[in-house]
Amino acid sequence: MPDQSKLFPDHRRLSGERYTVETFRAAYDLPLQEAKRLYDKFGPSKRELDLLMRARKNPAQFLNF
């Protein structure tokens, strides 16, 4: 199976507003190391990081669709 990141290289560029590591950390009161790990893994997209954090807070809401 092809690597998804290579199929959609512009995805992160088109995803709207962006966080900096510091604004993301502050928004969710995360330790710096955790904020950097998530930011590096999922990118700067505010939409994607907000969705990730909602899923971490209440995973059940994403399992019943």
pLDDT at residue 60, rounded to an integer = 80
Mean pLDDT, rounded, for 6-24: 73
Q: What is the pLDDT of residues 20-41, one digit of tens each?
A: 999 999 999 999 999 999 999 9
Q: Say what the alpha-carbon torsion angle 50, 52, 58, 59 is, to the nearest 10 degrees.
A: 150
- φ and ψ at residue 6, rounded to 5 degrees: -80, -25
pLDDT at residue 65, rounded to an integer = 58
CA distances from 59 to 22, 28, 51, 62 (A): 25, 16, 11, 6
pLDDT at residue 48, rounded to an integer = 93
**Is the whole-model pTM more than 0.75?**
no
Better-scored residue on pLDDT, 5 or 57:
57
Average of per-residue pLDDT values in the chain: 83
